[in-house]
């Protein structure tokens, strides 16, 4: 066996990720370790052991070393204008602010605006651009501009800004920009009936890669994340060690996700919604309000602004409404939207009073937290957890006073490599919501735990952030809806 660092399998840690390598006893798995090679490269070592196949047969797995293809490299080109001149006030933000109050663009983004399906990406690709491939010229290509002389480059998120007018007059000078970027992928390690371990290569996708299903008769052992970043650009590089060449792509302990499925996250305080369930079963009109931020808006499910409350809209509120209509066909389910991107609980308090309660809803679904816990690098949260909790409590009490039941939706962890400490703060916000479930006797859908549990299915949760920051992709919205609908099963 190669000499490599093992990490104990741990379903949940502060950042909500699996860093486990040792495959512990679980349905279908036993006594198998999967380790990165040392020195690290695009390969892993699988120790011999036994595995139970889908039909119940147990086979002996043969030790093997498996190799993986490097991430796909794609070209990016754009004709654009010179941006605003770089300013130091950009730096307190994870990713420079895209627009200022004058609505003029601050930087050029070196990544596609949409994914392969045409869904808008409201963020960026983390450390996936190859800086050496960046070429910035004037409109006819006769002049090449230089990094750190004519323009400033933000390497984490692939942003370019004018530097002291080096790219020409702001918002007027025509530019051509090109570069190359790496595309992420999820590969499956599987064991077959003959005990041979193989790699089933996944599909390269700009965002939200999908883990392939095991071939017929095979058992999935682990998902392997083929990152868009090179080893030295990994957010975990300092803690890995043993890398032969940090300028190459490599599989480290942090890209190996053993498959050990966990049970579905159960509803928290399911009886708190008994009145709603009873009314839905009886039939008639049932009003359900959704109060929240951009995730409740539906970003970044495909065309989240269109076809609300139908199966064509794949944001979690529409999925919930269409799901309830299937579960309770006798009911006339009327959704009441009260959501807006970039908001905190303060917005929720206001909307509850102005637009929601006057319509006399039966159930009010509330989801905030991401923007509350966020803020600038080195700064305080936009809304501290104490105020966050009391805002929610006020909304709960007013809702109950209006004879409406309440369902809190605990949203998921954001990107762990954001520098604004939002991930470190998040457990306090989760605790506040789970505490409220007991203190105020309300239902709570713990979507955060289900989000983290993706790691036990071989899927790194951070890979399912459609914008690389704080929005789930289509599969994430499906996950949210499933957790919520368990209250009504």
pLDDT tens for the chain, residues 1 to 489 = 222 323 322 223 333 333 333 333 334 444 689 999 887 889 999 999 999 999 999 999 989 999 999 999 999 999 999 999 999 999 998 889 887 667 788 999 999 999 999 999 999 899 999 999 999 999 999 999 999 999 999 999 999 999 999 999 999 999 999 999 999 999 999 999 999 999 999 999 999 999 999 999 999 999 999 999 998 888 887 766 656 566 789 998 999 999 998 999 999 999 999 999 999 999 999 999 999 999 999 999 999 999 999 999 999 999 999 999 999 999 999 999 999 999 999 999 999 999 999 999 999 999 999 999 999 999 999 999 999 999 999 999 999 999 999 999 999 999 988 888 899 999 999 999 999 999 999 999 999 999 999 999 999 999 999 999 999 999 999 999 999 999 999
Answer whether 458's CB lies under 8 Å from 202's CB.
no
User: Measuring CA to CA, how many Å separate 444 from each of 257, 331, 367, 406, 448?
Assistant: 28, 23, 10, 8, 11
What's the pLDDT score for residue 16? 32
In degrees and rounded to multiples of 5, residue 328 shows phi and psi of -130, 75
What's the pLDDT score for residue 235? 84
What's the pLDDT score for residue 103? 74
Structure tokens given for 51: 């595995």
Angle between helices 316-327 and 474-485 (to 10 degrees): 40
What's the pLDDT score for residue 228? 95
Three-class DSSP category at 45: strand
What's the pLDDT score for residue 178? 98
Residue range 270-488, CATH number: 3.40.50.1110
383-384-385 Cα angle (round to 5): 120
What's the pLDDT score for residue 133? 97
Answer whether 180's CB lies under 8 Å from 77's CB.
no
Q: In what order do the strands lie in the sheet with 256-258?
A: 197-200, 185-191, 219-226, 256-258
What's the pLDDT score for residue 9? 29
Answer whether 6's CB lies under 8 Å from 20's CB.
no
Domain ranges in the chain?
A: 22-68+214-258, 72-182, 270-488
The DSSP secondary structure of 210-274, one letter per residue, reads -PPPPPTT-EEEEEEEE-SS-GGGSTTHHHH--BS-TTS----GGGEEEB-PPPPPPPBTGGGGH
With tokens 């190859």, the residue in question is: 130
User: Measuring CA to CA, how many Å separate 472 from each of 204, 297, 298, 436?
Assistant: 18, 12, 9, 25
In total, the chain counts a number of residues equal to 489
Answer whether 442's CB lies under 8 Å from 275's CB.
no
């Amino acid at each position: 066996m190669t000499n490599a660092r093992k990490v104990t399998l741990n379903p949940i840690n502060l950042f909500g990720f699996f860093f486990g390598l040792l495959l512990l006893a679980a349905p279908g798995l036993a006594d198998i370790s999967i380790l990165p090679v040392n020195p690290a490269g695009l390969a892993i070592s699988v120790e011999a052991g036994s595995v139970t196949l889908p039909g119940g047969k147990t086979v002996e797995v043969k030790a093997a070393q498996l190799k993986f293809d490097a991430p796909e490299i794609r070209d990016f080109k754009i004709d654009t204008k010179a941006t605003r001149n770089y300013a130091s006030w950009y730096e307190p933000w994870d990713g420079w602010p895209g627009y200022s109050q004058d609505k003029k663009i601050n930087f050029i983004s070196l990544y596609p605006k949409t994914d392969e399906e045409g869904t808008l990406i409201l963020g960026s690709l983390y450390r996936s651009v190859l800086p050496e491939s960046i070429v910035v010229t004037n409109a006819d290509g006769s002049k090449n501009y230089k990094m750190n002389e004519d323009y400033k480059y933000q390497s984490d998120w692939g942003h370019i800004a004018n530097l002291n007018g080096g790219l020409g007059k702001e918002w007027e000078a025509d530019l051509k920009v090109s570069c190359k970027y790496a595309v992420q992928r999820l590969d499956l390690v599987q064991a077959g009936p003959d005990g041979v371990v193989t790699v089933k290569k996944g599909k390269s996708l700009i965002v939200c890669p999908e883990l392939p299903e095991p071939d017929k008769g095979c058992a999935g052992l682990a998902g392997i994340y083929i990152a868009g970043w090179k080893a030295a650009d990994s957010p975990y590089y300092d803690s890995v060690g043993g890398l032969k060449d940090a300028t190459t792509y490599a599989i480290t302990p942090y890209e190996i996700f053993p498959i050990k499925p966990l049970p579905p996250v159960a509803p928290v305080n399911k009886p708190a919604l008994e009145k709603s369930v009873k009314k839905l079963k009886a039939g008639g009109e049932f009003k359900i309000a959704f109060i929240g931020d951009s995730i409740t808006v539906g970003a970044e499910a495909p065309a989240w602004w269109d076809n609300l409350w139908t199966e064509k809209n794949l944001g979690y509120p529409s999925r919930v409404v269409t799901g309830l209509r299937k579960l309770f066909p006798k009911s006339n389910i009327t959704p009441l939207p009260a959501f807006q991107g970039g908001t905190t609980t303060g917005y929720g308090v206001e909307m509850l009073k102005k637009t929601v309660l006057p319509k006399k809803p039966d159930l009010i679904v509330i989801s905030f937290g991401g923007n509350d816990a966020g803020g600038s690098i080195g700064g305080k949260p936009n809304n501290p957890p104490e105020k966050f909790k009391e805002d929610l409590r006020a909304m709960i009490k007013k809702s109950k006073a209006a004879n409406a039941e309440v369902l809190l939706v605990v949203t998921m962890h954001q990107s762990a490599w954001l520098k604004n400490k939002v991930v470190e703060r998040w457990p306090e916000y989760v605790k506040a919501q789970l505490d409220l479930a007991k203190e105020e006797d309300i239902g709570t859908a713990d979507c955060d735990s289900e989000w983290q549990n993706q790691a036990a299915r071989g899927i790194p949760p951070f890979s399912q952030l459609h914008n690389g920051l704080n929005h789930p992709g289509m599969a994430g919205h499906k996950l949210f809806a499933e957790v919520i609908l368990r209250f009504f099963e």
